Structure 1
Amino acid sequence: MTDTALTTADADAQAADAKAHGVGLTDAAAAKVKSLLEQEGRDDLRLRVAVQPGGCSGLIYQLYFDERFLDGDQAVDFDGVEVIVDDMSVPYLDGATIDFKDTISEQGFTIDNPNAAGSCACGDSFH
């Protein structure tokens, strides 16, 4: 096998992994998560993304660090940042991308979700 074949096989494996739960993480978001984990001094935490009932539009996002790995969780590693999604949230988050913005007008994590049909005026929930 040539080096090119190994590289292609590795890229294909990573692409397959990235589709395990369908959630993407931008480089900016991955860097911010790594920074936050370094500040905490923890290397046993994962970034959990979930959808829960709530808010004025019906569903809210949950984004937090978790040391647990539960039955039904799907995980994808993004350059050292493990993102986990529970099996109930996967259909709501498939194709979503998590980004981190740090500008004068915006700061924080954002979720671009093509499955969200609409959101409330406050922007905290979706349906």
Structure 2
Amino acid sequence: MDKIVLKGMRFYGYHGCLPEETKNGQPFYIDAVLYLDLSNAGQSDLLSDTVDYSQVYGLIHEIVEQRIYRLIERLAAVIADQLMLQFPFSGVDITVHKPQAPVGGSCDDVYVFVERRKV
């Protein structure tokens, strides 16, 4: 299956269960793998035969920076579900990285991975 990948999108959000997370915020990094048939776009060279990934980026930006969720599991699910609703994807894989997650010790990254597929 063909795919478009947006990797390492950087946003600042206020997601978390602790008061300081929702007050001060922190960086979030999002990876999106978008599954769709790219054969027409590969032949026509027309944007209308594919998905404008700037629109995908804009939707993810709005979700991460203008909404607040306690869990990154919920954040990832909302991103995945909205992408499936608003674009002609046969599936999406979404990874939400929270590198400054309060784990009580040294940890390079905490992330959640969700996938959605059309049935």
> Could you say which TM-score interval applies, normalised by the shorter chain?
under 0.3
Which structure: greater helix fraction? Answer: 2
